[in-house]
Amino acid sequence: MRMEKFAARFFNMTDEVWAKHANPLSVWTRYSCLPLLCIAVWSRDWIGGWALIPGVVVILWVWLNPRVFGKPKTTNHWASKAVLGERVLLMHPKDQIPSHHLRAIGLLKSVTFAGFVLAIYGLVVFHLWFTVFGTILTILGKTWFLDRMVWLYQDLEDQNAQYRSWVY
């Protein structure tokens, strides 16, 4: 959970930013980040040091993404509830999160991390299949994690008036 809290602080996730990030466009366009970053890193083979430019642009996009879309008209979407579930995961006392969610979250983080490490390895050694497979594994792990966040949100929304107020 420490990594999620660090990321929330790094991204300065205020209530307003969380509300904008709950826009499904924010969630779905965020899927572009890892493939674009891989292309930017791989481009060092084609354009040398100039590869830093697309890399910086992608990192800027990662930071801006939760901010550029407006607050959605409704948060009654799978993607919106996935973001709300991530917010619950950060806010809810860990000892009060049902154990079946914690086990699944740990497993899915491991799958996502393994895919990410494989993608990084592929980028370092210019191995296309490691890069592609690692990226796919990372995205699948993250998608399954987001689905678990929807489930977590739905399980805990009735216990907390603030959580319930996020769905409109």
User: Which burial class, exposed, middle or buried, applies to 134 when counting CB atoms under 10 A from its CB (0-12, 13-18, 19+)?
Assistant: buried
Q: Are 51 and 40 in contact (CB under 8 A)?
A: yes
CB environment 53-86: b (16+ within 10 A), e (fewer): ebbeebeebbeebbeebeebeebebebbbbbbbb
Q: What is the pLDDT along the chain (168 residues), one digit of tens a residue?
A: 566 666 667 667 888 999 999 999 999 999 999 999 999 999 999 999 999 999 999 999 999 999 999 999 999 999 999 999 999 999 899 899 999 999 999 999 999 999 999 999 999 999 999 999 999 999 999 999 999 999 999 999 998 999 999 999
Residues 6 or more apart whose CB falls under 8 angstroms from that of 64 comprise: none
Taking the C-alpha atoms of residue 135 and residue 118, their distance in angstroms, rounded to an integer, is 8
Which of 10, 66, 57 lies closest to 36, judged by CA? 57
Angle of CA points 153, 164, 10, to nearest 5°: 60
Taking the C-alpha atoms of residue 57 and residue 63, their distance in angstroms, rounded to an integer, is 10
Can you give the pTM of this predicted structure? 0.90
Domain boundary assignment for the chain: 2-165
